[in-house]
Amino acid sequence: MSIEISNVNKYFGDFAALTDIDLTIPTGQLTALLGPSGGGKSTLLRVIAGLEEADSGTVTIEGADATALPVQKRNVGFVFQHYAAFKHLSVRRNIAFGLEIRKRPRAEIDAKVEELLELVHLTAWAERKPAQLSGGQRQRMALARALAIEPSVLLLDEPFGALDAKVRKELRDWLRRLHDEVHVTTVFVTHDQEEALEVADQIVVINEGRIEQVGTPDDLYDRPASEFVLGFLGPVTRLGGDLIRPHDIEISRYEQAATATGPITRWTRVGFEVRLEITPDDVLHPDPVQVALTRTEARALDLHLGDQVWLRPAVGAQTVTT
Amino acid sequence: MNGITTARPDAAPAAPSRPRRRARRSTLTRASGVGLGLAVVWFSLLVLIPLAAVVIAAAEGGWDTFVGTITDGDTAAAIRLTVVEAALVTVVNVVMGTVIAWVLVRDTFPGKRVLEVVIDLPFALPTIVAGLVLLSLYGPDSPVGVNLVNSRQGIFLALLFVTLPFVVRTVQPVLLELDADVEEAAASLGASRATTFRRIILPALAPAITAGASLAFARAISEFGSLVLIAGNQPRNTEVASLKILKYIEGDQQAAAASVAVLLLLVAVLVIVALDLISRRVAARG
């Protein structure tokens, strides 16, 4: 197993940033640490990298105990949210930095850098300074720089957080493809559940310094271990006494066996999606229920604001009883 | 990882545009034109015209007076002393100023606020007061038994005292702005603290250190007030250029005074240019 974390605790003053973390990160896979801001996921990543020292517990990287190793000796590639580019060096020299530190022969460095420039599609920009690159290019440069030292693990701290939505999406796809070819054990931190679901082989949900659940994206989505995981991976609403995803609710204008019934009290259109709010007539569960359906479905069902509708869980929908 | 290529990302760049060329065309609007005019007039009145006047004054004596003055034994000694002392003081300032700035920015300790204020004292004190302060501590009635009056060490000390804040104050804000990320990135790539400092931090600080060093040097070769009391003003021993100029003027030798002034001016310009070149080197090296 590539990274083994056992019993790690970390405090900042009185604040418990990490509590009893036990985690195994499999070799060659892309693992996402997912959770809300301030939940401890970045701290965990920094503990793995050696940028932060755990107050107790051990970190083992590729079978060797790395707990006492300084960051310089851990052979990890680290990518920061804000690129951390060496501003006074050209793209080429940024990428070569780790190899120069290791005093590799010039010819080897040049060959490796050339190969990486190709890999991150920055060959044409090799002599530029980081300030002359776009955010996406800078982050690709940072990635090449981290990969240059052939790290045993690649760690990315919210790598796409500072980019705009479109570039973020492109880089996300690109990271997935890159990983499929380079196969370096990769851990990345994100607070974006879509990013984690789309890119990761394994997701670790972290909240308030504790691991909530570990699993594949489908595991987590279909079998959330807690209300928190369910809520964090996508929108949820409460139908009757159960938690359910808004798009898993069947809605009808005609009277049928239903969990709740009431008028449509709110109508929000977001692109292809229509989000409805139904206020049930049920005095036991008077809170509004959110329902999501496509615009086409809404039109086919002939729904309008104010219509009386009947709601029930769709066939195959997962619900969590609380 | 040999020979790997990935599918081209959609963000993949098209052909790179040519390296940006600095626009030669003026970008002045009417308002900024007036501003520039004002700046030039102001600068001319205060700096350029007086400088030109000094050069003319030196030239009035003719080339012989100029060469004669600066090759005169006493004068040459005074100029050499001034430049050497100023250079030494600048070197010490570059090191100590950077260290002090580092401590002020990176460390927290009791009394930090007080130190922040104290650093500026040499700026705030009239230089004659600085001379008096040094005289009372290192003068003939020194409470610590060290008498530096009439000695080159005294000059060195006085120059150090008045130039202390320059490098500290220019380096400090730049150091504050440095990203911790960048140092962590260097560390994760295997760079030791020393290597990170040399290859990442120093290049970033170089322009600020140079600016501080230029100021310190310029101040040191022109220092007058604090030296009047402590230097003793002995020809060929502790007489500095500024005091030599005073002596020429008192002796009604305007052209000679101007000659020394012009030489000092040249030295200052040369040193500032040289420091700038060094700074560019360091900043580009990494």
CATH number, domain of B118, equals 1.10.3720.10
| pLDDT value at B133 more than 80 | yes
Report the percent of chain A where pLDDT is more than 90: 65
**Same domain, yes or no: B80 and B43:** no
Q: What is the pLDDT of residue B1?
A: 40
Q: Contact A289/A311 with Cβ under 8 angstroms?
A: yes
Statement: the pTM of the whole predicted model exceeds 0.90: no
Q: What is the pLDDT of residue B286?
A: 58
Q: What is the pLDDT of residue B87?
A: 94
**Same domain, yes or no: B52 and B68:** no
What residues of chain A, 163 to 192, have a C-beta less than 8 Å from chain B? 167, 170-171, 173-174, 177-178, 181-182
Q: What is the pLDDT of residue B69?
A: 84
Please name the residue of chain B whose CA is at the shortest distance from the CA of residue A149.
Answer: B189
Which two tokens mark A232? 């964090």
| pLDDT value at A270 more than 60 | yes
**Same domain, yes or no: B36 and B120:** no
Q: Taking residues A107-133, report their average pLDDT.
A: 93
What 3-state class would DSSP assign to B134?
helix
**Same domain, yes or no: B215 and B189:** yes
Q: What is the pLDDT of residue A317?
A: 82
In-domain check, residue B113: yes
Question: Of the residues B41, B59, B77, which one is the last residue of a structural domain?
Answer: B59
**Same domain, yes or no: B230 and B183:** yes
Question: Of the residues B18, B43, B59, which one is the last residue of a structural domain?
Answer: B59
In-domain check, residue B12: no
**Same domain, yes or no: B128 and B39:** no
Which two tokens mark B184? 């962590």
What residues of chain A, 139 to 158, have a C-beta less than 8 Å from chain B? 142, 145-150
Strands A153-157 and A76-79: parallel
In-domain check, residue B279: yes
Q: Taking residues B198-227, report their average pLDDT.
A: 91
CB-nearest to A136 from B11, B182, B188 is B11
Inspect the interface and report whether the beta carbons of A125 and B13 lie closer than 8 Å: yes
Question: Of the residues B21, B43, B59, which one is the last residue of a structural domain?
Answer: B59
> What whole-number distance in Å separates Cα of residue A86 and Cα of residue A279?
56
**Same domain, yes or no: B241 and B163:** yes
Which two tokens mark B92? 């010490």
Q: What is the pLDDT of residue B2?
A: 44
The tens digit of pLDDT for each residue in A219-234 reads: 998 888 888 998 898 8
Q: Taking residues B232-243, report their average pLDDT.
A: 85
**Same domain, yes or no: B123 and B179:** yes
**Same domain, yes or no: B113 and B213:** yes
**Same domain, yes or no: B47 and B146:** no
Q: In this predicted complex, what is the ipTM?
A: 0.84
Which two tokens mark B28? 């002045």
> What whole-number distance in Å separates Cα of residue A292 and Cα of residue A302?
15
In-domain check, residue B8: no
> What whole-number distance in Å separates Cα of residue B90 and Cα of residue A114?
43
Nearest to A86 by CA among B171, B199, B133: B199
Q: What is the pLDDT of residue A210?
A: 93
Please list, in sequence order, all residues whose beta carbon lies within 8 angstroms of the beta carbon of residue A211, skipping any fewer than 6 positions away: A21, A22, A23, A204, A205
B8 falls in which pLDDT band (50, 70, 90)?
Answer: very low
Nearest to A237 by CA among A295, A194, A276, A192: A276
Q: Write the burial class of residue A7 (CB in 10 Å: 0-12 exposed, 13-18 middle, 19+ buried).
A: exposed
In-domain check, residue B5: no
| pLDDT value at B13 more than 50 | no
Q: Structural domain tally of chain B?
A: 2
Q: Which of A86, A154, A199 to mutate to test the interface with B (most CBs of B within 10 A)?
A: A86
In-domain check, residue B92: yes
**Same domain, yes or no: B54 and B179:** no
Residues of A in contact with B199 (CB under 8 A): 97
Q: Taking residues B187-193, report their average pLDDT.
A: 93
To the nearest whole number, what is the mean pLDDT of chain B?
A: 85
Q: Look up the domain containing B36 and give its range.
A: 29-59
In-domain check, residue B139: yes
| pLDDT value at B5 more than 70 | no
In-domain check, residue B16: no
B236 falls in which pLDDT band (50, 70, 90)?
Answer: confident
Residue length of chain A: 322
For tokens 């780790």, name the residue: A98
CB-nearest to B284 from A82, A88, A102 is A88
Q: What is the pLDDT of residue A227?
A: 86
To the nearest whole number, what is the mean pLDDT of chain A?
A: 91
B11 falls in which pLDDT band (50, 70, 90)?
Answer: very low
Report the percent of chain A where pLDDT is more than 70: 99
Q: Taking residues A257-274, report their average pLDDT.
A: 91
What DSSP character marks residue B253?
-
The tens digit of pLDDT for each residue in A1-32 reads: 589 999 999 999 889 999 999 999 999 999 99
**Same domain, yes or no: B243 and B258:** yes
| pLDDT value at B161 more than 80 | yes
Q: What is the pLDDT of residue B211?
A: 92
| pLDDT value at B12 more than 60 | no
What radius of gyration, in Å, describes the C-alpha atoms of chain A?
24
> What whole-number distance in Å separates Cα of residue A21 and Cα of residue B59?
81
